[in-house]
Amino acid sequence: MLELIERFDFFGAVGLTLWLTLWGAILAFVLGTIVAIMRLSPVKALQFAGTVYVTAFRNTPLTLIVIASNLVLWNQLGLQLAPRDSASYIVDTNIRLAILSLAVYHAAFVCEALRSGVNTIPVGQAEAARSLGLTFAQNLRHIILPQALRGAITPLGNVLIALTKNTTVVTAIGVAQVSHSMARMIEFRSDVIILIFGLVAITFVALTLPMGMLTSWLSQRLAVRR
């Protein structure tokens, strides 16, 4: 097994998976929050745009989004995400396209998780804030979103775990994360195939189990007492 890990740079692949997860999660959270604000806003046009976003990306397979990011965004439309003269131009571009795809896709789920958090807040909270003279933006920032976030920790944790595992999909554009390294191991060492699958499975459990435990703990600790 050690030989496998060394020969196929498995730790490097795990590192890349973590990198994709980290940036994918941060960007998905930011984008998802923006879309959630659009869907919660009193402006009809923003609500509509938010709904379209969620409907479009929640119902499209991630593989499709990943491949389209490469073939359409980069090849056809010429989106440049890395310096062209760099030696790692193609690798960097694909990693960044992968992060972008993961973020755009999971933002739809982050948005819906936050909206489910908003539903845990009694109507009176927003009414009290409005009657104090807080504007819509202040109301969101100080009253609604902090409470929605606390009520949405468990579903947000689910999105994070799904995102971690969905990083495997970006093999489709050749990003050398864990599943990509798994494919190469299988190709060259099909004699130890059970070991390979076991190694990858345990790796993902080791990554996602702490996330689940952390979110359960946080959701209890930060629960809003009513």
Partner 1 sequence: MTDTTRRTEGLGQPLVVLKDVNKHFGDLHVLKDINLTVREGEVVVVIGPSGSGKSTLCRTINRLETFESGSITIKGVELPKEGKALAKLRADVGMVFQSFNLFHHKTILENVTMGPVKVRKMKPAEAKEHAMKLLTRVGVEHQANKYPAQLSGGQQQRVAIARSLAMNPTVMLFDEPTSALDPEMINEVLDVMTSLAHSGMTMIVVTHEMGFARKAADRVVFMSDGAIVEENTPEEFFTNPQSARAKDFLGKILTH
41 counts as binding partner 1 under rule CB under 8 A: no
Q: Are 196 and 4 in contact (CB under 8 A)?
A: yes
Among 59, 119, 131, 190, binds partner 1 (CB under 8 A): 131
224 counts as binding partner 1 under rule CB under 8 A: yes
> How many CB atoms lie under 10 A from the CB of residue 88?
11
**Shortest distance, CB of residue 186 to partner 1, whole angstroms?**
50
Among 51, 60, 138, 158, binds partner 1 (CB under 8 A): 138
Segment contacting partner 1 by CB under 8 A, of 59-67, 68-76, 132-140, 199-207: 132-140
> How many CB atoms lie under 10 A from the CB of residue 211?
17
130 counts as binding partner 1 under rule CB under 8 A: yes
* Interacting positions 140-159 with partner 1 (CB under 8 A): 142-143, 146-147, 150
Structure tokens at 188: 């060259």
Helix (H, G, I), strand (E, B) or coil at 58: helix
* Binding-residue total with partner 1 (CB under 8 A): 22
47 counts as binding partner 1 under rule CB under 8 A: no
d(Cα 21, Cα 24) in Å, to the nearest integer?
A: 5
Q: Are 125 and 114 in contact (CB under 8 A)?
A: no
Structure tokens at 226: 């009513």
**Shortest distance, CB of residue 173 to partner 1, whole angstroms?**
42
Q: Are 92 and 16 in contact (CB under 8 A)?
A: no
What are the φ and ψ backbone dihedral angles of 135, each rounded to 5 degrees?
Answer: -75, 170
201 counts as binding partner 1 under rule CB under 8 A: no
Residues that bind partner 1 (CB under 8 A): 42, 122, 124-125, 127-135, 138, 142-143, 146-147, 150, 224-226
